[in-house]
Structure 1
Amino acid sequence: MKWFKTNGNQDERIVNLKNKVYKEAYTLIMWICGISILIKSFLSWETYSMLTEVIVLLAGSIYFGVRSVMLGIYSDEVEVHDQTSKISYSLRNIITGLIIGISMALFLGIRSSVLFADTAHEKWWYFFLVFIISLLLYIPLFAGFNVIVHHFANKASQKAARKDQWDS
């Protein structure tokens, strides 16, 4: 039985096209799960109904990140990005953390004003209160998390790339 045996002779073009299709499928699944979570959260469904989508999002993202670090691809990607882009990968991670924090604060502010407020004045009050508190919580959390993860992932990826270089 040759279920797990890979064929050594493969056309590079076909392999690259298959990888492109896998990437598109992964992106599509992530978008579907994200949209499903947004819809379920505004329809005030219980959080356990979103558990499957959250697990798919986290498991896929964590697997992709860990695998790219273990193969040494992450540090190579950072190096290529820093050579070709005007902003460094570290600054890009900080900006990404800021955008995620602001988006999360906006989402929570809008959600709480829609679901819990009765009058127009309450809607504005709930929105601004939740938005400001969420900004204070989530911007440092996500920006700091992105910076710390990038630092350690880049170090581990460089170590894996050096080890792979010595093994070859």
Structure 2
Amino acid sequence: MGLFKQKIVDERVQNMQNKIYREIYYIVYLICISSLIIKMFLYGRGFEHVTTELIILLTCAIYYSIRGMYSGVLSEEVEIHDANSKYRFSTKTIVIGILCGVVIALAMALNSAINYADSNAQALEYFFIVFLISLVIYAPFLAVFLFIGQQSAVKKSKKINDKMLEDNENEW
């Protein structure tokens, strides 16, 4: 008992620190999104001006997903969400994938109508053709991609969580 000292942790302090860290994360996220929007209005739609913000946003999201999956927390979060929410987490994931597909299809359709059409009639034609084709391609792809990714992450998290529980039982 003399070699290793256990650190005494006050749960109230620990919870308050976690709350502050969460607030900091939201502030950084809000600043990045605000900066991204402002730069897109000032400099146009190019990615060269918003690369840093995109890297920060994507890195945070990927890190949170991986960390949640390998700590076993993700499966617990999904179970709590499904117990408390009207719609299952997997349903929301599919809807988000479809909405992202719609946004991408709208962006591509607007780009085609604005940049490549010579008349208003041709602009409408380009818009609807590109929108429908993009919608048929991107919405199902993103919905399936996000659903499969989410399901595999939850499955991996559950497996890790079960292993941790089994290891804890073996210690007793």
TM-score bucket of the superposed structures, by smaller chain: 0.7 to 0.9
Unaligned runs of 5+ in 2: 1-5
Q: TM-score, normalised by structure 2?
A: 0.76
The CA deviation at 1:142 is 1.6
Q: Deviations over 1:120-151 (max 9, x none)?
A: 55654554444333322321222111111111
* RMSD, matched Cα: 2.7
Cα distance change, pair 53–118 in 1 and its aligned pair in 2 (3 A): farther
Partner residue, 1:8: 7
Identity of aligned residues (%): 37
The CA deviation at 1:54 is 1.5
Unaligned runs of 5+ in 1: 1-6
Paired residues, number: 162
The CA deviation at 1:74 is 0.8
Cα distance change, pair 110–17 in 1 and its aligned pair in 2 (3 A): farther
Structure with the greater alpha carbon radius of gyration = 2
Q: Deviations over 1:88-110 (max 9, x none)?
A: 22212111211222233334444
AA in 2 matched with 1:61: A
What is the CA–CA distance in structure 2 between the aligned matches of 1:145 and 1:21, rounded to whole Å? 33
Cα distance change, pair 118–166 in 1 and its aligned pair in 2 (3 A): same
The CA deviation at 1:49 is 2.2
Q: Does 1:26 align with 2:20?
A: no
Cα distance change, pair 136–35 in 1 and its aligned pair in 2 (3 A): farther
Q: Does 1:50 align with 2:39?
A: no
Q: TM-score, normalised by structure 1?
A: 0.77
AA in 1 matched with 2:138: Y
Bigger Cα displacement from structure 2, 119-128 vs 19-28: 119-128
AA in 2 matched with 1:159: K
The CA deviation at 1:27 is 2.3
What is the CA–CA distance in structure 1 between the aligned matches of 2:76 and 2:102, rounded to whole Å? 30
AA in 2 matched with 1:27: Y
